[in-house]
Amino acid sequence: MTTLLVTGGAGFIGSNLVRMIAHEGRYRVVVFDALTYAGNLENLDGCINGSLVSFVHGNILDRDLVRSTLEHHKVDSVIHLAAESHVDRSIDSAAPFIETNVRGTLELLEASRSCGISRFLHVSTDEVYGTLGAEDAPFTESTPLDPTSPYAASKAASDLLVTSFVRTHGINAVITRCSNNYGPFQFPEKFIPLMTLNAIEQRAMPIYGDGKQVRDWLHVDDHCRGLLLALEAGTSGEIYNLGGFAERVNMHVVHEILRLTKRDESLIEYVADRKAHDRRYSIDSRKAQQELGWMPSCTFEDGLRQTIAWYEDHPEWCSHVRSGEYRRFYESHYNTSL
């Protein structure tokens, strides 16, 4: 059975991906994660069993540990999700984004090359293309890179490194660029889980600027299916856009969350805008449809309803994340401190 290394597997998308892979049972998985503030082993509770799914606590900047993990577990393929992922944090402090997203990706590429990894899937973002006006055509894979935030710049740099390793060293690698994900286990610094938990707890819901920015929402399960298709059927050196076919204005999403949580508009609070706030993302996924046979199957309305129900049904996960208690899950299970 093929063994995959999933970096960032205890974060939001990574943990949903690992659950999907474990459920399908076609691969053995080694989760490699530093468990930063965004990593949470509770996301994989019941999933890590030492045989099909194992966990290594490590930083992708640690080349020796990455290399020994690849060798020890006889890893065939890498799915690279580990990253600093939140735009607002990159505006406050860009350095960790350069360290993990740029230098960390380089370390992982070097280790993968020296260990003869047969396939490398790099998970990137539509934010590398910059921002669109209301009437602009969607981003395609050949839209020039024009990142706005330090986060987006660090992801664009990591994409270029991956491509350079394909060209220079002949590694077998594919890049995916997806739109905004939502779903279970998303850390409540991101828009949908933050607004959902604030609505449930009757706290103020902070809207940046005029709230008329547009994001394209992709359910995390649809994204994960796209990742597995890109891993298995993508052409080395190619980039595949994965979009949700669900462009929505932020205020529309907030009103939907208020309706579904049965709260009223008094919770809405307009706050200062994000610096250099990208106005609109829109993504053309025709290449992934044609070459990978990928299409998202979840409508935004169904996905949002299910996601809100998940947060309502998991008060313990939510309270652990809100209080910081989740940081102790690792310590109690592995008898060591983070």
Catalytic residues: 126-127, 151
**In whole angstroms, how far apart are CA 158 and each of 35, 152, 167, 233?**
21, 10, 14, 22
Report the interface residues with ligand NAD, using CB under 6 A: 7-8, 10-14, 33-36, 38-39, 59-61, 81-85, 100, 104, 123, 125, 155, 178, 180-181, 187
CA 122 remoteness from chain centre:
11
Choose, by CB under 6 A, the member of 90, 179, 282, 285 that binds ligand DAU: 179
Crossing angle, helix 250-260 and helix 191-200, to 10 degrees?
30
**Is residue 190 within the footprint of ligand DAU (CB under 6 A)?**
yes
**Is residue 125 within the footprint of ligand DAU (CB under 6 A)?**
yes
Compose the 279-308 pattern: x for residues touching ligand DAU by CB under 6 A, - for all others.
Answer: --x---------------------------
Choose, by CB under 6 A, the member of 43, 59, 85, 176 that binds ligand DAU: 85
Stretch that binds ligand DAU, among 49-57, 89-97, 200-208, 294-302 (CB under 6 A): 200-208
Near ligand DAU in 210-249, by CB under 6 A: 213, 215
Least distance to ligand NAD from the beta carbon of 80, Å? Answer: 7
Least distance to ligand DAU from the beta carbon of 245, Å? Answer: 14
Near ligand DAU in 7-66, by CB under 6 A: none
Q: Could you identify the residue written with the tokens 């939001």? A: 12
Distance CA 250, CA 215 (A): 7
**Is residue 255 within the footprint of ligand DAU (CB under 6 A)?**
no
b/e map of 222-236 (b: 16 or more CB within 10 Å)?
A: bbbbbbbbbbeebee
**Is residue 208 within the footprint of ligand DAU (CB under 6 A)?**
yes
CB 192 within 8 A of CB 253: yes
**Is residue 185 within the footprint of ligand DAU (CB under 6 A)?**
no
Q: Which of ligand NAD, ligand DAU, none does residue 174 bind to, with CB < 5 to 8 Å depending on kind?
A: none
**Is residue 107 within the footprint of ligand DAU (CB under 6 A)?**
no
b/e map of 109-143 (b: 16 or more CB within 10 Å)?
A: bebbeebebebbbbbbbbbbbbbbeeeeebbebeb
Closer to ligand NAD by CB, 187 or 267: give it.
187
Closer to ligand NAD by CB, 33 or 42: give it.
33
Per CB under 6 A, residues contacting ligand DAU are: 85-87, 125-127, 179-180, 190-191, 194, 206-208, 213, 215, 250, 274, 281
